[in-house]
A = this chain, B = another copy of it.
């Protein structure tokens, strides 16, 4: 079976490939027909579905897409779907992270809970759709630590950990991450529904 993952991120491709095993996975760089769609949804699931539908419609392949971000308790679950552009410009990880730290600077430790959340969607060319969620609970630290990962990883410590996500090895992070959980749930659906 051939499957499209609607991403240009090679790391995500490798991660999903490892989880899916025998499936033949391609990315957006392999399917020129795909047109970027604005991530205009107000939920992670909406955004993942938008991308998965576009992929299935353009290529005729079952398509997986994901959207994820950081949900801070003291910010009512934001930055949420705006995680990648919280400070106003898309993809400025350092500015986004510094802004969140500044916004919660007066919030004491017991109230600094947060979660990385991932929605992963699967759209089949026959019109069927599935959405799953993965979550990694933890808390925000006060000063960034670590050089691994990306995004908000340097300010997030997962439950049961003392190291920030940016201080974990890639394998350690995959095992507990929101995206790992969502992709594993989707792998099960792919096997049973499309296999």
What are the interface flags for A73-90 relative to B under an 8 Å C-beta threshold, 1 for contact and 0 otherwise? 011111010100111110
Q: Does B76 lie within 8 Å of A107, measured CB to CB? A: no
Contacts of A87 in B (CB 8 A): 99, 102
Interface residue tally on A, bucketed by range: 20 to 34
Q: Does B111 lie within 8 Å of A42, measured CB to CB? A: yes
Within 8 A of B (CB), among A61-101: 74-78, 80, 82, 85-89, 98-99
**Nearest chain B CB to A82's CB is how many angstroms away?**
5
Task: Select one of B82, B103, B107 contacting A42, CB under 8 A.
Answer: B107
Contacts of A76 in B (CB 8 A): 75-78, 80
Q: Is A171 an interface residue (CB 8 A)?
A: no
Cα-based distance from A98 to B99 in the complex (angstroms): 14
Q: Is A36 an interface residue (CB 8 A)?
A: no
The residue of chain B having its C-beta at the shortest distance from the C-beta of A108 within the complex is B40
Contacts of A42 in B (CB 8 A): 74, 107, 111
Q: Does A102 lie within 8 Å of B78, measured CB to CB? A: no
**Nearest chain B CB to A70's CB is how many angstroms away?**
13
**Nearest chain B CB to A69's CB is how many angstroms away?**
12
The residue of chain B having its C-beta at the shortest distance from the C-beta of A41 within the complex is B106
Q: Does A88 lie within 8 Å of B108, measured CB to CB? A: no
